[in-house]
Amino acid sequence: MVVTLHNALTAGGFVGFVYGVLERIVARRADRVLVVSPDLAERMTVLGAREVAEAMVPAPPLRPARRRPEEVREELGAGDRPLVLTIGRLAQQKGHDTLLDVAAGPWESPAPLFAVAGEGPLRAELEDWIRGRNLPVLLLGDRDDVPDLLAAASVVVNCSRWEGLPLSLSEALMAGKPVVASDVGGIPWLVGDAGMLVPYGDAEGLRSALRKVLGEPGIARTLAEAAARRGRELPDGDDAVESVLGVYEATRSNG
């Protein structure tokens, strides 16, 4: 039996307890466990997995933007402000509380506009925080124009508590956008030299990194070039199929 783990435990309580039990069962029963990040590999090994290997996650091609960046910026009311884009569910794992702390500043004029594409159970709570603190943050909900948003963005930010190989950052890299992200899970491998990484929950560190990207054109240009290069290197569907077929063939042979 081959099992692939795409996520890590970020919640506590009963849900965390059940997830932990399932992890131990998977680790001890599977012939091979495929994981999307080094920390998952270490965890599965500690829990008794017989063989752990890297799971290859394909990055689907990014379709072209349908609108000019100026049109998107006008829709969002960005004006001449830098546009900071986050793509992800409005859920506990994504660390949007840290993002709101980052948005609170202080910022030099013109202060950036933060836009979050995604929907989820924390919308009402986040809306209350944004209104209560008068934050420059737009919750855009689910969007079918992510390539348009990426083309208009100055930088892409990910504040997650944990991620494997998030599609949102793969898309940012393929769009050639600088990345500022939490140093967790599979993000360091995915981003490489195309972004600036900060410990999870470090709002001041994230704000400082954003100031550098937004305030120093040379840094932004270097990261954007590295992002486009990294985006071209990401495995595609054919690579993923070849990899998983190899794993199953090896497992069958060893069995």
Sign of CA dihedral 198, 161, 170, 91: negative
Tell me the mean pLDDT in the region 105-114: 93
Label residues 90-123 b or e (16+ Cβ within 10 Å = b): bbebbbbbbbbbbbbeebeeeebbbbbbbebebb
User: Nearest 5°: phi and psi at 50?
Assistant: -70, -40
The average pLDDT across 172-178 equals: 97
Region 21-45: what's the mean pLDDT? 74
Instruction: Give the domain ranges of the chain.
Output: 2-58+235-254, 69-233
Asked if the 69-233 domain carries CATH number 3.40.50.2000, the reply is yes
pLDDT in tens, 113-161: 999 999 999 999 999 999 999 999 999 999 999 999 999 999 999 999 9
Comparing 173 with 39, the larger pLDDT belongs to 173
Position 65 pLDDT exceeds 90: yes
- pLDDT score of 48 more than 60: yes
Q: What is the per-residue pLDDT for 255? A: 56
In the chain, the amino acid numbered 252 is R
Say if residues 211 and 84 touch (Cβ distance below 8 Å). Answer: no
pLDDT at residue 144, as a whole number: 95
* CA 48 – CA 196 distance, rounded (Å): 34
DSSP state of 86: E
How far, in whole angstroms, is CA 98 from its chain's centroid? 14
**pLDDT at position 49:** 76
Asked whether the beta carbons of 158 and 187 are under 8 A apart, the reply is: yes
Q: Rounded to two decimals, what is the model's pTM? A: 0.83
Backbone phi, psi, residue 113, to 5°:
-100, 130
